[in-house]
Amino acid sequence: MTAEDDRDRAWSQEWLHANLGISAEQVAKLDLLVANLRRENDRQNLVAKGTLPLAWSRHIVDSLQLLQLVPRGTLSTWLDLGTGAGFPGLVCAIAAEDIQFTLVEQRPLRTQWLKAQVGDLGLSNIIVQTANVTTLPKKNFDVISARAFAPLPKLLKLSAAFSTPATHWLLPKGRSAKQELQELKGWRHLFHVEQSVTDPQSGIITGTLLGRT
C-alpha cells in the first residue's frame, strides 16, 4: 500500500459512511475485494493497471454511488450487464443485501473470478451467469445497470426486453453521457444525466424507459 492508496481509501470510506451508512462488516468485505482485485489483475486484466492505486474511488465509490439514484426499500431485483470484474453489480450487492443481483458476463475467466468472490465474500444475493445478453431468459428487473457495456442505442436494443416502465436504469457513461443522451433517437424515456461524484466531468444516465417511439 502506498500513501496514495491510503489517502484514496480514507476519502472513499469517509464518503461511504457519510452518504450510504456502510457498516464495518461491509467495509471489511470491500477491503477483501480490493485486495483480491489487485492480486487477480496480475493474472487477467480485470481493470486498467493505472487505476489500482485509486481502486477505492475509481471502482468502489464509483459503483456504490449508484445506490443514491434508486429508491431503496422498494427494489428486489437488479440486472448488471457486462459486469466484467463486478463493477458495479458485485460491489453494490455487498451494500444492498436485500436485493437479488444477476451479474451477466460472457467471458468464462471473468465469471470464474466473480463466482470465487461471491464465495470468498460470503454473499448470498448474487447469481453469476456466463452468457451473452441475447441468450438470457427474458424476465423483468427492478434495476438495470451497465458500465462501459455498449453505446446507448445498442444497449437499449439489447436489454429493453428486461425492462418495464418502472425499471430504474443506471448507466455510468463517463464523459460521453450528455452527448449519448442528446443523440438518442427512437425511444420514449425519462432519462437524465447525474454528475459522478468521482469525476466532475463524468455522467450517469439514469431514469426510466417507456418504450419505442
- Tell me, what CATH number does 116's domain have? 3.40.50.150
How confident is the model at residue 4, as a pLDDT?
81
- Show contacts of 174-177: CB within 8 Å, 24+ apart: 174/148, 174/199, 174/202, 174/203, 175/201, 175/202, 175/203, 177/202, 177/203, 177/204, 177/205
Q: Based on DSSP, count helices (H) and strands (E) in the chain, helices before strands.
A: 8, 9
User: Is the pLDDT assigned to residue 1 strictly greater than 70?
Assistant: no
Average pLDDT for the chain: 96
How much is the pTM?
A: 0.96
Q: Take residue 137 and report the three cell numbers written for it.
A: 431468459
Structural domain including 49 reads 3-212
- The total number of structural domains in the chain stands at 1
Give the model confidence (pLDDT) of 144-174 as tens digits.
999 989 999 999 999 999 999 999 999 999 9
Omega cis (within 30) before 88: yes
